[in-house]
A and B are shown apart, each in its own frame.
Chain A
Amino acid sequence: MVDKVVELPVTIEIPVGPQHPALHEPVLLKAYVDGETVVKVEVNTGYNHRGIEKLCEQNTFYKDIFIIGRVCGICNTVHTDVYVRALEQILGLEPNRRAKYLRVVAMELERIHSHMLINAVMAEVVGFDTLFMSIMLDREKVMKAKEILTGARVMADYMMVGGVRRDLSDADAGRIAKLVEQVRERLTYYKRVFEEDTTITKRLMGVGVLKRVDAVRHTLLGPVARGSGVRIDARVSDRYDAYDELQPEVVVRGEGDSWARMMVRWDEALVSAEIVLSALSKLPRDGSPVPDERKLPRKFPPGEAYTRVEAPRGELTYYVMSDGKANPYRVKIRTPSFTNIVNSAFLYEGYTIADLPVILASLDPCISCMERAVITDLRTGERRTVPFTQLSRGDKAWRGRGFYLL
């Protein structure tokens, strides 16, 4: 005869990561699951902290250009571009038109290969490895184009105060244009694959739905916000470099799910290809874009600058403060991944374990970019009293608390 029923809340803590949660980068998603359903996720990072901001304070302005290029491998030209533009603001320098166009070419090539990479990784995450290999093979063409332009496949080291570090000959411009045209064809094809292939659509559609208001309130940026209908693009609003003449079309979708974010990326890659081609076709000829690095100003006047750039992952901002000495007084880097990963723990709730890497990959996390750590604590006291399925299914008392289900 049973006279007592003991109820145990069956929640299991599953560590997703820190080795390869989705990308091959270290981040730990501690998922608390009730059966198959994720009820809570703690984003636990900090495996990659290198203290670059402090390092920048201890090196000269010019050395920092190369240190900052190493914040992130994928988006190194945007990092150096935004830092170099901050220095130019402090110095009151202006590069010539040709240099500005070449910067745009480098940054847009980077956007194409970054978006191809994350879409390939997404294909791998959903188990479509053939597509992963195929996209990565075509991505090599973009890497080759970047090598022709900057002198290295990945680490461009291309930006310099007052211009860029190497000029582009007409023959090489033609080669890059040819490569980009080939890639554009493939991008259209892959976009169709993502639109129509059932393997992709079944895994991505309706997963990780992000509402417009949540995207803005939690400072989610870039394709993540644009996939939820937020029209933000630093290229259009700040018109830095040559974007005053090469106006990009802002791709916005309304669905807000993982699929929409990936489709935004394909469309943006196509827009980027257009920008590269048009920039190469009307490359201005107003002198050499390469400043003589031996004659650049050694002394920086006191001042501060805050520059923004639209990195492949969203708005990237640098704050640089000079106090007139040889080293910057303060360099503050805020990468889009920092907010996109740290502030998005609420996105995973209510979906299944298999959806977890999909949602993470759809945010395009760049761990070495954010190089920060956040640990959110469980409230153990309340955990025992509330059924977990209730939590995830939108119990008012818990949902009303805002963004973090702690």
Chain B
Amino acid sequence: MARPRLLPAVVRSLLGRPSTVQYPYVKTEVEAAYRGRHYADLKKCTGCSLCAIECPADAIAMTQIPAHLEAPKSNPRRVYPKIDYGRCVFCYRCVTVCPFDAYVTTNFYGMAGPRENTSEQLSLGTLERVV
């Protein structure tokens, strides 16, 4: 019985660079269409809360837009979906059920951290201040 030649594989591994990616010092490359961090563009959002109802992980809470920001007229209740990324499972159900295509999707995945991580900053950043 001829043995498979393991020796070339061993030599190649010894001479080659390690296959391990030194995350977080080196970023893992992901697809552009990877399901990463997503948030609502409040210029389009009407505060209908369909995403919050449909969310399987219950990660979306409808929250009041602060008074110093200018909400569009299409959002009379002045609420927006705040996504808790700690709860989110990144199934993108909210993205696909949104009647106004208000969600912005990115392939950003480095969300681990000690602090509470929500879409508050990102979503509110899409609005302008009241002058």
Contact with A along B69-91 (1 / 0, CB 8 A): 00000000000000000000111
Find out whether the CB atom of B96 lies under 8 angstroms from the CB atom of A155.
Answer: no
**Distance (whole angstroms) from the CB of B46 to the closest CB of chain A:** 14
Determine the distance from Cα of A134 to Cα of B99 in the docked complex, in whole angstroms. 47
Find out whether the CB atom of B99 lies under 8 angstroms from the CB atom of A193.
Answer: no
* Complex interface: chain A residues within 8 A of B2 (CB): 196
By beta carbon, the residue of chain A nearest B92 is A157
Find out whether the CB atom of A197 lies under 8 angstroms from the CB atom of B33.
Answer: no
Known interface pairs A151-B31, A152-B35; A189-B56 also in contact (CB < 8 Å): no
Determine the distance from Cα of A196 to Cα of B3 in the docked complex, in whole angstroms. 6
Judge if B4 is at the interface, Cβ distance under 8 Å: yes
Determine the distance from Cα of A225 to Cα of B7 in the docked complex, in whole angstroms. 35
Find out whether the CB atom of B56 lies under 8 angstroms from the CB atom of A59.
Answer: yes
* Complex interface: chain A residues within 8 A of B57 (CB): 66
Determine the distance from Cα of A151 to Cα of B34 in the docked complex, in whole angstroms. 4
Find out whether the CB atom of B92 lies under 8 angstroms from the CB atom of A147.
Answer: no
**Distance (whole angstroms) from the CB of A145 to the closest CB of chain B:** 11
Interface residues of A in 81-137 (CB under 8 A from B): 130, 134, 137
By beta carbon, the residue of chain A nearest B105 is A151
Known interface pairs A157-B91, A293-B97; A63-B34 also in contact (CB < 8 Å): no
* Complex interface: chain B residues within 8 A of A65 (CB): 56
Find out whether the CB atom of A197 lies under 8 angstroms from the CB atom of B19.
Answer: no
Contact with A along B91-103 (1 / 0, CB 8 A): 1110011010000
**Distance (whole angstroms) from the CB of B31 to the closest CB of chain A:** 6
Judge if A62 is at the interface, Cβ distance under 8 Å: yes
Find out whether the CB atom of A155 lies under 8 angstroms from the CB atom of B90.
Answer: yes
By beta carbon, the residue of chain A nearest B35 is A151
* Complex interface: chain B residues within 8 A of A293 (CB): 93, 96-97
Judge if B104 is at the interface, Cβ distance under 8 Å: no
Contact with B along A58-70 (1 / 0, CB 8 A): 0100110111011
Known interface pairs A151-B34, A157-B92; A63-B56 also in contact (CB < 8 Å): yes
Judge if B1 is at the interface, Cβ distance under 8 Å: yes
Find out whether the CB atom of A196 lies under 8 angstroms from the CB atom of B90.
Answer: no
Size category of the binding interface on chain A: 20 to 34
Chain B residues bordering chain A, tally (CB within 8 A): 24
Judge if A148 is at the interface, Cβ distance under 8 Å: yes
**Distance (whole angstroms) from the CB of B82 to the closest CB of chain A:** 19
Judge if A379 is at the interface, Cβ distance under 8 Å: no
* Complex interface: chain A residues within 8 A of B33 (CB): 151, 166
**B31 in complex: contacting residue of A70, A148, A157, CB < 8 Å:** A148
Determine the distance from Cα of A69 to Cα of B91 in the docked complex, in whole angstroms. 10
By beta carbon, the residue of chain A nearest B3 is A196
* Complex interface: chain B residues within 8 A of A231 (CB): none
**Distance (whole angstroms) from the CB of A213 to the closest CB of chain B:** 32
* Complex interface: chain B residues within 8 A of A70 (CB): 89
Contact with A along B1-34 (1 / 0, CB 8 A): 1111010011000000001000000000011011
Judge if B128 is at the interface, Cβ distance under 8 Å: no
Determine the distance from Cα of A63 to Cα of B52 in the docked complex, in whole angstroms. 12
**Distance (whole angstroms) from the CB of B76 to the closest CB of chain A:** 21
Interface residues of A in 155-177 (CB under 8 A from B): 155, 157, 165-166
Known interface pairs A63-B56, A134-B9, A165-B96; A196-B4 also in contact (CB < 8 Å): yes
Find out whether the CB atom of A193 lies under 8 angstroms from the CB atom of B56.
Answer: no
* Complex interface: chain A residues within 8 A of B3 (CB): 196-198
Pairs A–B under 8 Å by Cβ, sample size 30? A62-B54, A62-B93, A63-B56, A66-B57, A66-B93, A69-B91, A70-B89, A130-B6, A130-B10, A137-B19, A147-B30, A147-B31, A147-B34, A148-B31, A151-B92, A152-B35, A155-B90, A155-B91, A157-B35, A157-B89, A157-B93, A165-B96, A166-B33, A196-B1, A196-B4, A197-B3, A197-B6, A293-B97, A294-B96, A294-B99
List 19 extra interface pairs beyond A66-B57, A293-B97, CB under 8 A: A62-B54, A63-B54, A65-B56, A66-B89, A66-B93, A70-B89, A147-B34, A152-B34, A155-B90, A155-B91, A157-B89, A157-B91, A189-B4, A193-B4, A196-B4, A197-B3, A197-B6, A294-B97, A294-B99
